[in-house]
Every structure is written in structure tokens, then in C-alpha cells.
Amino acid sequence: MFSWPTNYDSCYTLAGVISREGIGLHSGEKTRVTISSYEKEGYYVSFRDKPNEIFELTQDLIGSTMLCTAVKLGGRNLYTIEHLLSAMAGCGLSYIHIEVDGKEIPLLDGSAIQWVRAFEDVGIKKAPKPNNFFQEINKSIILNKEDSVIVASPSEKITIISTISFPYKAIGNQTYVVDLNPKCFVEMIAPARTFGFKDQFQELRELGLIKGGSLENALVCDGDGWVNPPLRFDDEPIRHKILDLIGDLALVGLPKAQILVYKGSHSLNALLASSLKN
Ligand SMILES: [Zn+2]
């Protein structure tokens, strides 16, 4: 039985090669990703048709689309990278090469758990001590966007306290607190699926967006309840918000901080990521 570390004292990479195939959220087309260890710290991407062009994923390549996180690599976009990034950072993995056959990372079940299971299939091995896996901060940072706010205060361990508030009975007010480490990420955060709203879902489908979106890869809320229960946790939505936050901070390094988020979103997370980078 595979057991994940209970701290981030060491950094790891994959002990073998994994490959997963699935539908891309945007295109609805099948896309395949092959992941292995790499000699340099960080996350590196190449496309199957140009194997010698290898790009390092960095925060300044990130462009947010309305629906997912994308990076521009050598003139083309790679979509929907956020849950894979979260899986790697949350599990304490770096020194990674990702080869993509397609233009998207497959959405799989809308959470990070299938990436985690894939990592477990081949196992992990210790990697050299990284320089950028964490960000040390020496003062508190407070950022807001409309009525949402994110605060990061220096701390020895990484603690995330996140709250959401939706005017729908199915979600309502949810708060989750986690002292982050790989084991805890895998058990408490990684299985939480992305969620959306029925009206919005139909609208986006009619616009020809989210061609690959389905009841298999997102929890869909219709106000009072869920279209596709059961939930994996009663508070699955707030746990997914934390999953997204970890993915959004992965390229600048997880801050050694106590992070408090109210009404988190990718754009709020991006504000913190860019202020950590500077
Ligand atoms: Zn997400």
C-alpha cells in the first residue's frame, strides 16, 4: 500500500512513466498526457509533435481564460492545466516533464485524484532539494478583488483557511481548514471535484464552449440540490476551492504561510501568485 509523506521536508519526483488519456474540457476531443521525471527543478512541457522543444512552466506564461487556466507555449495554448499542477504541488512533486498529445490536459473526473492514483501506480522517489518549491514570505500580504479577499501571513507550516458563501441552499456557507502536507492533500483535497451551476452549464454548452464538460467531470448544482449526487464530501465545493488555490500557486512555489481566503477564485489566487513572484 502506497503511503504519502506527512510533511514537505523532502521533494519528490516520479519513479516511473505514467500516461493518461481523456476528454479535454474545451475541445471535447481526446487528449493524452505522459508524465515522467526530469533533470531540472520545476514542471516542463513539450508537445508530442515537437519533442525537442521543451518549455518550463512559469507564472508569466499563465493566461486565464473564462473557464480554465491556460499557458502559452511557443505560439500555442495549452488549456486546463490547473488540476494537474495542484496534484503535483500538493503531492510534493517537482522535477517533472509532461508530454502533451493535444492542446489540453484531460479533465478526467474534474478533481485531482486520478492524477494522484497515477503517481501511486509508479511510485515516487526523492529529488534534489529544490530552490523554488516554497516561497518564504517575511510580511503579511492582503489582497482583494470586489468582495473577495486573500491574506497570507508568514508561518512555518502551510495552513489554508478558506470560506465560500453562495446564495444556493446546496452550497451555502462552507469553511475548511487544512494544515497542508502530501498525505492530507491526497486524502482531504485531491478527490474534490470542480462544480458549476446548471443554468451556466447549459448556456456555455449552447455557446459551443465546454464541449467536453459533462456530469462525469463536474458536480452540477441546481440551487437547492445537486443534479449528479452523491458528493464525495458534504463540503466538496470548498475543498475544490483549496485544490484550485494550490494549483494556482504551484508555479511561484507554495508560500510558507497561513493563508486565509474568503470567496476565492482563480483571479484572486492569481493576484497572490503575482505578488509572491515579485
Ligand atoms: Zn478547479
pLDDT digits (tens, 9 = 90+) for 8-34: 999 999 999 999 999 988 888 999 999
The pTM for the full model equals 0.96
Q: Distance between CA atoms of 238 and 230, rounded to whole angstroms?
A: 16
Which of 267, 251, 273 minimizes the C-alpha distance to 259? 273
Distance 106 CA to ligand 1 centre (A): 13
How confident is the model at residue 254, as a pLDDT?
94
Q: Could you tell me if 48 and 129 are in contact, meaning their C-beta atoms sit under 8 angstroms apart?
A: no
Distance 243 CA to ligand 1 centre (A): 7
Q: Omega into 230 within 30° of 0, i.e. cis?
A: yes
**Cα separations in angstroms, 34 against 58, 91, 107, 127, 161:** 20, 18, 14, 19, 33
Give the β-pairing of 124-127 and 96-101.
unpaired
How confident is the model at residue 121, as a pLDDT?
97
Q: Could you tell me if 249 and 150 are in contact, meaning their C-beta atoms sit under 8 angstroms apart?
A: no
Mean pLDDT of 241-252: 96
Distance 131 CA to ligand 1 centre (A): 27
Output 151 or 136, whichever has higher pLDDT: 151
User: One-letter amino acid identity for 62?
Assistant: I
Q: Distance between CA atoms of 228 and 94, rounded to whole angstroms?
A: 35
Q: What are the domain boundaries of the chain?
A: 12-126, 134-277
CATH 3.30.450.90 fits 12-126, yes or no: no
How confident is the model at residue 202, as a pLDDT?
82
Distance 244 CA to ligand 1 centre (A): 5
pLDDT in tens, 181-201: 999 999 999 999 999 999 888
Domains 12-126 and 134-277 share a fold: no
pLDDT in tens, 49-100: 999 999 999 999 998 666 778 899 998 999 999 999 999 999 999 999 999 9
Distance 237 CA to ligand 1 centre (A): 10
Is 233 buried (19+), middle (13-18) or exposed (0-12) by CB count in 10 A? middle
Does position 241 have pLDDT exceeding 70, yes or no? yes
Architecture of domain 134-277: 2-Layer Sandwich (3.30)
Distance 52 CA to ligand 1 centre (A): 30
Does position 208 have pLDDT exceeding 80, yes or no? no
Residue 266 falls in the annotated catalytic set: yes
How confident is the model at residue 206, as a pLDDT?
81
Q: Distance between CA atoms of 41 and 99, rounded to whole angstroms?
A: 16
How confident is the model at residue 64, as a pLDDT?
66
Average pLDDT, the chain: 94
Distance 235 CA to ligand 1 centre (A): 15
86: helix, coil or strand?
helix
Which of 132, 24, 39, 120 minimizes the C-alpha distance to 81? 24
Q: Residue 62: CB partners within 8 Å, gap ≥ 6? A: 69, 70, 71, 251, 270, 273
Q: Could you tell me if 245 and 164 are in contact, meaning their C-beta atoms sit under 8 angstroms apart?
A: no
Residue 121: CA count within 13 A, CB half-sphere: 13
Distance 113 CA to ligand 1 centre (A): 12
Give the DSSP letter of residue 128.
Answer: P
Q: Residue 201: CB partners within 8 Å, gap ≥ 6? A: 210, 213, 218, 220
Task: Give the cell for residue 95.
Answer: 522535477
Task: Give the cell for residue 277.
Answer: 513572484
The β-bridge partners of 124 are 14
Residues near ligand 1 ion, CB 5 Å cutoff: 194, 244
Mean pLDDT of 93-111: 96
Spot the catalytic one: 26, 83, 97, 266: 266
Q: Distance between CA atoms of 208 and 275, rounded to whole angstroms?
A: 35
Distance 156 CA to ligand 1 centre (A): 27
**Cα separations in angstroms, 54 against 39, 79, 82, 247:** 12, 17, 19, 21
